[in-house]
Structure 1
Amino acid sequence: MNLFLDAWSYLTTAANWGGPTGIEHRLAQHLWYSFLAVALSAVIAVPIGMVVGHTRRGSAYVVGFANAMRALPTLGLLTFLVLGMGLGLIPPLIALVTVGVPPLLAGTYAGIANVPDDVVDASRAVGMTHAQVLFRVELPNALPVILGGLRSATLQVVATATIAAYVNLGGLGRYIFDGIGLYRYDLVLVGALLVAALALVLDGLLAFAIWLSIPGTGRVARRELFVAEQGPKLGIVGQD
């Protein structure tokens, strides 16, 4: 019980929030590392997932690549990268990318590949190019699944970004590693609680974004409008 009371006392003390070692600064650092990792993961994973999902080619390689990246031990990979590249932001960023790419890649591929065939066929029948089909039809319909992959990637990266403190960087992991080194387990608990709270907030925001993109809030409206306009010409009958 004293452990939780000490952690609560630390969190509610105003002096612990300001300054270069304060909670606000550590939180900003953690968010920055996570943002960089997720953004870089999206740059790598989303285009590959879109192309593979659209062409239906190379899906076996995508699944194998994603599973291989999931199997990599993040802390072991970080240690290896530090030995080869030295300290700095690049090694933990690369390690975090291996966590963020698999869910984004799988979500993008699954979302694009599972767009209803009648919608894709109708768009091609009215003369759309491959790029138009992908960006104007498949991508809007796949958005909820892609955002689901982004949600999963964000949560995993936020939870794993504590390893940045392992190579003398900042972030919320600083409380965990410093607490272990100083036998201050209340600090370890503070770091764990802050990471959990941050993950819950981001999860709620991304869940809301997914809710905005599901049928009834825009996606179905776009699809129904397309079918309503082009369906009679193509013999497509809307389904309830």
Structure 2
Amino acid sequence: MTDSDQPQGYRRVLLKISGEGFSSGGATGVNVADVAKLAGQLAEIATSGTQLAVVVGGGNIIRGARFSAGTEMIQEATAHYMGMLGTVINGLALQDALENIGCETRLMTAIRMDGFAEPFIRRRCTRHLEHGRVVILACGTGNPFVTTDTAAALRACEIGADIVLKATRVDGVYSDDPEKNPHAVLYERLSYKEVISDKLAVMDVTAIGLCMENNIPIVVFNYLKEGNIARAVAGERVGTLVGD
């Protein structure tokens, strides 16, 4: 991948934000200040004309895969559904935070919750984006045993996103865990095949495969640094770019 391959701004973006974005520092629940800070960054992007869809995680509420571990009382599939409900809680918080600062939104879920959210329908979602609304996507794919990373890749393919932005609390993809190994190397660029073959902790293999098959690049970056989301959307060099 050469410098000329780096796009200078994206028309339609799929942002994946984990539950950590709603409660920093490893805390549980929803932190109003964290959500307000996130909403401010997203509103800046939306008002610039970029079409923005956001897939939210729910780890700050409950991590389904871990919740059922070591117990026979709650089945793993049930725990995954509980995790999906956690993403809805985060989605509602983000929706109100965005609309509180004048940003029009729609919350769409993979499991029907007609009282307060729209069901995810691809054409309806793209129409919302075309009208400048931030679309918040919750419940993952609606299926247990599927990560929200895979949901982000799948939705990006469905809505024709130009890129997947994975917001993390580290500066990009490293050769090792930078929080444990101070000598870990930060990669500037990687191919999809390198990520898979080297088992790098970017997204799960299914998510990487979907993006590779549909030629959707991925940028992994630190959203905690002020302005990084906007810089990533603008195509500036931030984090690690994964592509062909």
Q: TM-score range by the shorter chain?
A: under 0.3
Kindly name which structure, 1 or 2, has the bigger radius of gyration based on alpha carbons.
1
Q: Which structure is higher in helix share? A: 1
TM-score in terms of structure 1 length:
0.27
TM-score in terms of structure 2 length:
0.26
